[in-house]
Amino acid sequence: MSNITLPFKDKEFTTIYADPPWLETGGGKIKRGADKHYDLLKTSEIIAMESEVKRVTTDNSHCYLWVTNNFLPDGLKVLNAWGYKYKTVITWVKPTIGIGQYFRGMSEHCLFGVRGVFPYRLDERGKRMQGRTIINAPKQEHSKKPNEMRQMIEKVSYSKYLELFGRGKAPENWIFWGYESIND
């Protein structure tokens, strides 16, 4: 997936939501993680998407970037390379234990960053539309993120929404890009 070209117009999206296939390794001979489901990318390949991400997003925009615990420092590098200033982390707390090495995972993290001057949405009375930094939701099939996250993004950030590495059918108001994405 190196030399990725996104099939979108320049400055088309104001909010980007990405769940890159981080190059997770370990676990011995049995494939139980992401590499069992799809091809993985090196951090350098994700960073190399910089020019395309900057091309298709507006100068003032929001980025939500999922990162595994192992790749938290790399996630911050990607966010910065893509032109976003880190603001906070949103944590998805799961009710069941997952895989892991030293610790069995029960959480995933999404980094939030802002490029330029792009405030949160306001409601009809001019009040801030704020999200939360914790989402409590059950796990679903591999790599599927909770619907509550996308709902929170729609509450806090302006459309037009692009999900990179999206899987399945894009919901209304969203465009998905990825190997397993379907847009109507």
Residues in Cβ contact with 144 at an 8 Å cutoff, skipping those fewer than 6 apart: 167, 168
**Residue range 75-117, pLDDT digits in tens:** 999 999 999 999 999 999 998 887 777 888 889 999 999 999 8
C-alpha 88/C-alpha 110 separation (Å) is 9
Domain ranges for the chain? 13-182
Q: Beta strands 107-115 and 57-67: pairing type?
A: antiparallel
d(CA 158, CA 148) in angstroms, rounded, equals 16
The span from the CA of 70 to the CA of 184, in Å, is 35
> What is the distance between the alpha carbons of residues 19 and 137, in angstroms, rounded to a whole number?
17
CATH superfamily of 13-182: Vaccinia Virus protein VP39 (3.40.50.150)
Which pLDDT tens digit goes with each residue over 12-60?
999 999 999 888 766 555 545 555 455 778 999 999 999 999 999 999 9
